[in-house]
Structure 1
Amino acid sequence: MMERLLRFLKRGRAYLLVIFLQFGYAGNAILSKSALNKGMSHFTFVVYRHAFATAIFGPIALFLERDKRPKMTASIFLKIIVLGLLEPVLDQNLYYAGMKYTTAAFAATMCNVLPAVAFIMAWILRLEKVDLRKRHSQAKVLGTIVTVGGAMIMTLLSGPSLKLPGSREHHNAATNVVHQENPLKGAILIACGCFCWASFVILQAITLKSYPAELSLTALICMMGTIEGSMLAFAMERGNTAVWAVHFDTKLAAALYSGIICSGLAFFISGLIMKEKGPVFVTTFNPLSMVIVTILGFFILSEQLLLGRIIGAMVIVVGLYLVIWGKKKDPSASKPNCPSCDRIVPSDLPVVVENKAVENKNLETLNQDCVAVEVTKIELPTN
């Protein structure tokens, strides 16, 4: 029983980790929206978020990866600078700025275009294989179009608000919480943020190939995001020193939570998943975050449930899982991401693996399970 449980956890590790990330993102959407509603500047929020993440994950990375950390090169350092700019600075400031003009549920749902954007970028950079003659490739392309269409429906179609139990009290309270809603402006800002996020995911996967130290890379990205975010915050909030004031309230809790969970842990876990499943897989579970945020946003933030946004969200989910289905059927998905599995063994030679004779026809099965094998003896056929 215990062996089965361990086997299940090993096989489903990537899925469990990425689901955990979505719960973390959902909590961040609720807390950060509450902090923004109380007047916190998103520029200083981003700085504090990554300052906390750097302070916590920096020492951990120095200790745990002291013997694993590769040598820093100019190329790697330049990539880290760009990574710190793309996600910690550009994406998060655009996301929080867009959230000010809409609701937490709307912002979370708009982020469901991220898998489509990541897929397109991976296709352009040839990190994703597409053959339009194949059904799974057609599904990926169609899913991308449907996902973007769902985001447009959410933006342009509001519709009536759904009357749920207690909705009257919630909606009346919502008028005092949301100061100004501009779905179109918010959608544009969030969409630009999603593009930066997708670029970050792709570049992070590329960087990990030459700098395979997940914790150290996480700490460096957060540190660089703190420095670059501070420069932007000082420029945008010059003369307004009040925005830097910190008190023991929701604003501080939101910065701590988002820094630890959604920057530090998220960057680290995403790096682990990318090594096993690739960059596109990391972005495919965003609908779960959308559902969680929609439910919590109604009960905690007193946000309205609009029919148009629900329809758009459903369309996004359909398009997203077309992309996922096509990705699952991709022949490259069955290939292992393991250097040991790239060994070529002549088809006419039997081999001995760990003192056990293994027929060559079984090597494919071993490779599919990504078992690193060591060839200890090769028996040449005699005439």
Structure 2
Amino acid sequence: MGDQTSNVAALSKVMNKAKPYLAIISLQFGFAGMYILSTITLKHGMSNFILATYRHVVATIVIAPFAIVLERKIRPKMTLPIFLRIVALGILEPVLDQNCYYMGMKLTNATYSSAFVNMLPAVTFVLAVIFRLEKVDMKKIRSVAKIVGTLITVVGAMVMTLYKGPIINFFKSGGGTHHATTGESAEQHLVVGTIVLLGSIVSWSGFFILQSFTLKKYPAKLSLTAWICFMGMMQDGLLSLIFVRDFNAWKIGFDSRLLAASYSGIVCSGMAYYVQGIVIQERGPVFVTSFSPLCMIITAALGAFILAEKVHLGSILGAIIIVSGLYTVVWGKAKDGKQSETDEKSNGLQELPTTDNARPMVTIDGTAKAVDIPASNNSFSTRGT
């Protein structure tokens, strides 16, 4: 019976450690699906501003009821500084990041735009170091691993983006004519698309950093998610009214537009903001962004299968490099976690409190207990008599 209990406890401990990894990897599959659906919708003429607006309308409708009911007792009081941070979060991710990304995707394609997501860990790592959310000690192997791993993922992204090589035919498709036209359009707008995508990555990195600080003041994750989605809906709606003068563009039916807005709103805004907030509190923003290179690999595979996008040898080589860099970063972050646990244990054993009658305290099984220790040999003779 005791062996079964210990096995269950060990399994539970392993699952708890694996939860952040499983959660972030699952999100990468969710983001990959969003990139494919958004590419189809934008190529059919939907405005990126309207898509972003509808996305956050759906996210607000889905998340807000859960936040109102489940966090009614733990929700902190809203203050002006917190509200201003939420407004800034709405500008950074729902407005700047998503609209820049959609515009860059429209000018290029799903695979190329998702390749730029690999810049996210590097930019986030730099910002985290600047704002002291991440410690760098070049004498520690774990810090060197995080830096080297981040650089490797960037190199992999560059290989995947700049080197094409021969076409690898994984899936036979009849979409050659379509992609010849798409390729010509992407080449014409490649420079502008690249600049816009870089702006998207910087905004997204800033969002993760600000979200980390905001969660310390406003730890109600569901409520914070609902507020971000609501602010994104309002701000994107205002931009849509300014830049899209044709009201017919707002029409939406049971088609790819509705599917893209619903899917991205529920999975990539509502669920993603919430899950990222949980993992950020536990592991930090760098850990969350370290898995973003996986999204490009998944998107490339889906793009080849669904959109008949051509897969080049450079994409495969870049994917291999990216995975190796990702593994290096995750290894360094895992060592960080073990080091923090060791520091907490050592700090707990440094200075033990004593009671008023000078009975020293010792830690037994994690609990501080008072013990009687004789002051001298005379006490032994006194108690012995």
User: Displacement of 1:350 after TM fit?
Assistant: 10
Q: In 2, are the aligned partners of 1:46 and 1:229 still within 8 Å (CA)?
A: yes
Q: Which residue of 2 aligns with 1:234?
A: 241
Rounded to whole Å, the distance in 2 between the matches of 1:198 and 1:347 is: 40
- TM-score normalised by structure 1 residue count: 0.85
Give the Å deviation of 1:361: 8.5
| Residue in structure 2 matching 1:249, options 255, 260, 281 | 255
Q: Which moved more, 1:52-61 or 1:138-147?
A: 138-147
Give 1:117 deviation, angstroms.
1.2
Identity of aligned residues (%): 44
- Provide the residue aligned with 2:177 in structure 1: 172
Q: How does 1:179-198 map to 2 (within 5 A)?
A: 180-182=185-187, 183-198=190-205
Q: Using a 3 Å threshold, how does the CA distance of structure 1 residues 253 and 343 change in structure 2: closer, same or farther?
A: same
Structure 1 residue 84: Cα displacement = 0.4
Q: Decide whether the 8 Å contact of 1:111 with 1:286 is kept in 2.
A: yes
Moved more, 214-223 or 125-134: 125-134
Residue 232 (structure 2) pairs with residue 225 (structure 1):
yes
- After superposition, the C-alpha distances for 1:7-39 in whole angstroms (9 at most, x for unaligned) are 443332212211221111111111111111211
The residue aligned with 1:210 is 217
Deviations 1:44-94 (A, max 9, x none): 000000011011111210111000100111111111011000011100111
- Which residue in 1 is equivalent to 2:67? 61
Point out where structure 2 has 5 or more consecutive residues left out of the alignment: 356-360, 376-385
CA distance in 1, matches of 2:363, 2:354: 6
Residue in structure 2 matched with residue 262 of structure 1 by the alignment: 268
Question: Alignment partner for residue 287 of structure 2, among 281, 285, 296?
Answer: 281
Partners of 2:199 and 2:153 lie apart in 1 by: 16
Distance in 1 (alpha carbons) for counterparts of 2:342 and 2:100 = 34
RMSD between superposed Cα atoms in Å: 2.9
The match for 2:87 is 81
Distance 2:233 2:139 in 1: 46
CA distance in 1 between counterparts of 2:342 and 2:306 reads: 42
Q: Which residue of 2 aligns with 1:319?
A: 325
Instruction: Report if the CA contact (8 A) 1:349-1:379 is conserved.
Output: no
Task: Name the residue aligned to 2:77.
Answer: 71
* CA shift in 2, pair 1:382/1:79, >3 Å: farther
Q: Name the SS for the 1:248 alignment partner.
A: coil
Structure (1 or 2) with the larger CA radius of gyration: 2
Q: Is 2:385 the counterpart of 1:378?
A: no
Task: Please identify, of 145-154 and 269-278, the stretch whose mean Cα deviation from structure 2 is larger.
Answer: 145-154
Cα offset, 1:328, TM superposition:
2.8
Deviation of 1:349 after TM superposition, in Å, equals 7.2
1:211-259 deviation per Cα after TM superposition (whole angstroms, max 9, x unaligned): 000000000000011111112222222x222221111101111100000
How many matched pairs? Answer: 362
* Aligned-partner Cα distance in 2 for 1:220–1:380: 56
CA distance in 1, matches of 2:308, 2:219: 43
Q: 1:116-155 counterparts in 2 under 5 A?
A: 116-155=122-161
- State the distance in 1 between where 2:322 and 2:15 align: 29
TM-score, L = length of structure 2? 0.85
Partner AA of 2:282 in structure 1: E
How far residue 136 of structure 1 moved from its aligned partner, in angstroms, is 2.8
The answer for the alignment partner of 1:293 in structure 2 is 299
What is the one-letter code of the residue matched to 1:304? Answer: K
Q: Deviations over 1:106-159 (max 9, x none)?
A: 222221221111111111111111122333323322333333333333343333
C-alpha separation in 1, matches of 2:342 and 2:139:
26
